[in-house]
Amino acid sequence: MLTRKRRRLGAKIAVFTGLCLGAAFAGLPVVWMLSTSFKPNGEVFAVPPKLFTKNFSFDAYTAILSDGAQLRFFLNSYVVALSVTALTLLVAILAAYGFSRYEFPLKKSINAVIISVQAVPPITLVIPYFGLVVTLGLYNTYPGLILTHMVFTLPYAIIMMTAYFNTLPKELDESVKVDGASSWTALWRVLVPVSVPGMVAVGVYTFMISWNEYLFALTLTRTDDMRTVPIGIQLLMGQHSYEWNQMMAMSILGSIPVLILFLLFQRRFIGGLTSGAVKA
Amino acid sequence: MNSAKLDHAPPAPPAPVAVVAPQTRAAPPGRARRFLAKSGAPFGYLSPTMILIFVLMIIPIVMVISYSFKDNVIVQQNSVFVGFANYTTVLTDPDFLAALKNTFVFITVSTVAHLVLGLGFALMLNTSLLSGWTKAIFRIIYILPWLFTVAVIAVIWRLMLDPSGVVNYLLTTLGGMQEGVNWLSDPGKALWALTFINIWAGFPFFMISILAGLQGISGDLYEAASVDGAGPVRQFWNVTIPQLRPVLISMAVLDLIWTSQQFALIWMTTGGGPLNVTEMLSTYTYKQAFSSYEFATASAAAVIVLLLTMVLAFFYVRLQKER
């Protein structure tokens, strides 16, 4: 009995130690970024390295936030990511309604195309996109970025929204149609209002993809006033002679929207995944 | 998708919270329903999607394939058909072959490490030995790397792996290493450093999925196994692994696809250098197009990348069908 208890305690200590080692691997780089952002730049590579500096300050953050060029990156990222989110939701809701509520010729093939779009490598698309965007006069503009980001966000949004609509009973929209309303009214007046949780999940995910996108933002814009945050972080590496504290502050500021969205919707994100796997 | 590092696929949508009471009204007669379907309403709803996919996917793929058989594209007028000349150029370019080899090493090592780490962390997080709160805190810490965009990950690791950075400090003082290493500029180490960064960035998504899979395994199976006298190790190999097999295999194929598409991380840490040791198919193609302005050969490389991805995607679809 005693040995059994002891063995259990031993296992507990072993698992806890393993978890702590894993947490150090996963978390220490993030802690180090945070710590560096509060240091004066001269102290970044001090020997021995210090986690907590005596000269703690928010100087790096104020430097970023008072620099119009840096703020412009944030403005660009918000404009692009919010537009992509709104447009993706609109187009995906319409498509999902078609997939969920109708049978029609070529339904399976169209669905297969939408799914396979997800596997196409961005590097394959970026060359013709460059040609297209220049031809259409969208080079170095918001619409050029917004449109091309949608190629990543749309397939998954349609798949997610269709799955969501499929969980809602058909009687819901058909009852409105019997009263003489069109399917259009049924969609916007009945289905969309009860689909807010699904739309939030799709919207959050779409926002994150667009906010983080790098390759298209790099190739389809040219001037600094059109660059987004990920490119801004990279530019900071070149132009200042390695202001590490400012680079870390910019990285943290650039991660905040995604971190907040994740913390707010964490349960929905992980829970959705978990419940999906249990059902399968 | 990665670049969407968060390119990592998202979770399934949550089940609707509000369960609406079933309506008692009669459904419309079959004829009316058939009329609606025939009237083209579904195509109306799908038209924005179909136009976007046509413009953003079908046309570009046709364009890139046609570029790959021509010369003088995009930057010059009067392009001429050159057959497979661009493909010959690419496939005999030692830089391309090096990129192919590097990509292979990068994606296989990353995927295997993601699987092992994801499984290990998921098993520890699934333990019944610790309280739910403790596990919830660890879970958030473990998900952290997944929440940062590739640009941020690149900057963090350039700071950590700097020759006078904290990793070298720890290795020289605690690890007994003689002198600091320039991880990202040493041709013998850069590919491994880059792979390590990618492993750090990508394991959380595996962990979350495997954890979900673990929680879906019925406790009865473990009970039956322990009645038969199987210890924890035998239970792991005879119950856990077979039950997780479909999740593990499809995650691995997806990860091979995603990792092969990784561009931003490589571009922002090593840029393919030093001496091409971290050149990947994605950086090779990018440089051909946007550094050398050889859009025709870049297109040939891009089509080869597309074909390789299609082979992987084909396996993925086959696996999904088997499930």
Decide if A73 touches B, using CB distance below 8 A: no
Could you tell me if B279 and B93 are in contact, meaning their C-beta atoms sit under 8 angstroms apart? no
A22–B27 C-beta distance less than 8 A: no
Decide if B51 touches A, using CB distance below 8 A: no
| Dihedral sign, Cα of residue A47, residue A51, residue A53, residue A54 | negative
Q: Which of residues 108-137 of B touch A (CB under 8 A)?
A: 117, 120-121, 124-125, 127, 129-130
A95–B313 C-beta distance less than 8 A: no
Q: What is the mean pLDDT of residues A168-177?
A: 83
Q: What is the pLDDT of residue A82?
A: 97
Work out the minimum CA distance from B224 to partner chain A, whole angstroms: 20
| Dihedral sign, Cα of residue B307, residue A213, residue A113, residue B255 | positive
Q: Which residue has the higher pLDDT, A144 or A172?
A: A144
- State the Cα–Cα distance between residues A14 and A207, nearest whole angstrom: 40
Decide if B216 touches A, using CB distance below 8 A: yes
Q: Which residue of A99, A114, A123 is in closest CB contact with B261?
A: A123
Decide if A9 touches B, using CB distance below 8 A: no
Work out the minimum CA distance from A113 to partner chain B, whole angstroms: 9
Q: What is the pLDDT of residue B323?
A: 62
Decide if A80 touches B, using CB distance below 8 A: no
In chain A, which residue's Cα lies nearest the Cα of B208? A270
In chain B, which residue's Cα lies nearest the Cα of A26? B142
pLDDT at A23 over 80: yes
A280–B5 C-beta distance less than 8 A: no
Kindly list the residues from chain B whose CB atom is less than 8 angstroms away from the CB atom of residue A121.
Answer: 260-261, 282, 302, 305-306, 309
Could you tell me if A41 and A26 are in contact, meaning their C-beta atoms sit under 8 angstroms apart? no
Mean of all residue pLDDT scores within chain A: 87
Decide if B52 touches A, using CB distance below 8 A: yes
Place of tokens 């780490």: B117
Kindly list the residues from chain A whose CB atom is less than 8 angstroms away from the CB atom of residue B313.
Answer: 116, 119
A118–B142 C-beta distance less than 8 A: no
In chain A, which residue's Cα lies nearest the Cα of B281? A123
- Encoded tokens for B85: 């000349």
Q: Exposed, middle or buried, B16 (CB in 10 Å: 0-12/13-18/19+)?
A: middle
Q: Exposed, middle or buried, B189 (CB in 10 Å: 0-12/13-18/19+)?
A: middle
Interface A–B counts its CB contacts (< 8 A) at 358
Decide if A30 touches B, using CB distance below 8 A: yes
Go through the domains of chain A in sequence order and give each one's CATH number.
Answer: 59-279 (1.10.3720.10)
Kindly list the residues from chain B whose CB atom is less than 8 angstroms away from the CB atom of residue A198.
Answer: 13-14, 16
In chain B, which residue's Cα lies nearest the Cα of A152? B1
Which positions of chain B have pLDDT values less than 70?
A: 1-39, 75-76, 323
- Residue B220: other Cβ atoms inside 10 A: 8
Write out pLDDT tens, residues A38-90: 999 888 888 888 888 888 889 999 999 999 999 999 999 999 999 999 999 99
Kindly list the residues from chain B whose CB atom is less than 8 angstroms away from the CB atom of residue A112.
Answer: none
Q: Which residue of A22, A45, A276 is in closest CB contact with B11?
A: A276
Q: What is the pLDDT of residue A112?
A: 86
B13–A251 C-beta distance less than 8 A: no
Work out the minimum CA distance from B164 to partner chain A, whole angstroms: 6
Q: What is the mean pLDDT of residues A7-25?
A: 90
Could you tell me if A198 and B14 are in contact, meaning their C-beta atoms sit under 8 angstroms apart? yes
Q: What is the pLDDT of residue B32?
A: 54
Decide if A52 touches B, using CB distance below 8 A: no
Which band of pLDDT confidence, cut at 50, 70 and 90, is reported for residue A279?
very low
Could you tell me if A4 and B122 are in contact, meaning their C-beta atoms sit under 8 angstroms apart? no
Go through the domains of chain B in sequence order and give each one's CATH number.
Answer: 86-322 (1.10.3720.10)
- Encoded tokens for A92: 């995906």
Kindly list the residues from chain B whose CB atom is less than 8 angstroms away from the CB atom of residue A212.
Answer: 3-7, 149-151
Could you tell me if A171 and A102 are in contact, meaning their C-beta atoms sit under 8 angstroms apart? no
In chain A, which residue's Cα lies nearest the Cα of B283? A123
Decide if A203 touches B, using CB distance below 8 A: no
Q: Which residue of B11, B16, B312 is in closest CB contact with A270?
A: B11
Could you tell me if B305 and B104 are in contact, meaning their C-beta atoms sit under 8 angstroms apart? no
DSSP per residue, chain A = -HHHHHHHHHHHHHHHHHHHHHHHHHHHHHHHHHHHHTS-GGGTT-SS--SS-TT--SHHHHHHHT-HHHHHHHHHHHHHHHHHHHHHHHHHHHHHHHHHH---TTHHHHHHHHHHHTTS-HHHHHHHHHHHHHHTT-TTSHHHHHHHHHHHHHHHHHHHHHHHHHTS-THHHHHHHHTT--HHHIIIIIIHHHTHHHHHHHHHHHHHHHHH--HHHHHH--SGGG--HHHHHHHHHHHTT--HHHHHHHHHHHHHHHHHHHHHTHHHHHHHHHHHHHH-
